Amino acid sequence: MRSMITGYTRLVGLLGYPIKHSKSPRMHNLSFGQLGVDAVYLTFDVEQSNLEEAIKAMRTLNVLGFNVTMPNKQAVIPLLDELSEEARLIGAVNTVSNVNGVLKGYNTDGIGFVRNLNEHNIDYKSVKVVVGGAGGAGSAVAIQMALCDTPEMVIFDGNLEAAERLAKNINDNIKNCKATARLMNEADLVEELKTAGLYVDATPLGMAPLEDKAVISSPDQLPKNIVVTDLTYVPLKTKLLQMAEERGCKIVTGIGMMYHQGAEAERIWVDKEMPMDYIKENL
């Protein structure tokens, strides 16, 4: 385990605002210590107004890499040299590598979600998946599941145009997945869930200050054989997951996605596997 910073220690950072609440520094620094990686992870208050200067600083300081969070996930794209396929399709970046001065953007949110499903042995390759929410997180998850061979997807959002844009993006660029868009309303959502194997909630319902809200109003609106997931991890069990559990559905909380997206970022930066059991125990 690394015991001190040396003259060779590399910097990894998180650029966003507000940022001080982030769990990423503890997660990555714990991992670097266990792996023997000579690097430190720090947060930096960076808004869109000073993002360009921050990226120039990252280049100048020759950082190992960095994460990007709100409000900078889209704004950072023109400032980078390359994009991965999923980042290009999603239109947002949360992880950047620096290899010999070349900054390449990735989006590890979606792959973090998929790996969390794999960890819980959830089928997403032979069932219809319903996604609630076509914002940044919902888009990342939907596109990554389509890239990972989900055959059919129905995307709900309170803004029908947002859902239609996401569905068109998938249909135009990922031929193995058929996506359709629907305006979010409870009756239509419940009807689609009857023939789905997995529901993914990427809406703000369930997180502060909407802890008492959910996309459905009662547990009996859920089929008992559907798997219900929620991207929110504070609280760990949202109102939706509580109702799904009461109904007898298998549930998957959002905390695993947080771990796995961080693990994928580390894989990009240092080509090593995050010690997941140790991180879960100590974070």
Print pLDDT tens along the chain (283 aa).
556 899 999 999 999 999 888 889 999 999 999 999 999 999 999 999 999 999 999 999 999 999 999 999 999 999 999 999 999 999 999 999 999 999 999 999 999 999 999 999 999 999 999 999 999 999 999 999 999 999 999 999 999 999 999 999 999 999 999 999 999 999 999 999 999 999 999 999 998 899 999 999 999 999 999 999 999 988 999 999 999 999 999 999 999 999 999 999 999 999 999 999 999 999 8
Q: Domain coordinates of the chain in residue numbers?
A: 10-107, 110-256
Sheet of 10-16, strands arranged across: 39-45, 10-16, 65-68, 95-99, 102-106, 82-83
Q: What is the pLDDT of residue 3?
A: 60
Answering whether pTM is above 0.75, one says: yes
Q: What is the pLDDT of residue 20?
A: 86
Q: What is the pLDDT of residue 2?
A: 55
* Dihedral, CA of residue 118, residue 122, residue 123 and residue 124, to nearest 10: -70
Cα distance between residue 170 and residue 142, in whole Å = 8
User: Which CATH architecture group holds 110-256?
Assistant: 3-Layer(aba) Sandwich (3.40)
Contact call for residues 16 and 72 (beta carbons, < 8 A)? yes
Contact call for residues 197 and 227 (beta carbons, < 8 A)? yes
Q: What is the pLDDT of residue 56?
A: 97
CA distances from 8 to 49, 63, 64, 268 (A): 31, 12, 11, 20
Query: Does residue 73 carry a catalytic annotation?
Result: yes
- What CATH class has 10-107? alpha beta
10-107 against 110-256: fold identical: yes
Given 23, 73, 125, 250, the catalytic residue: 73
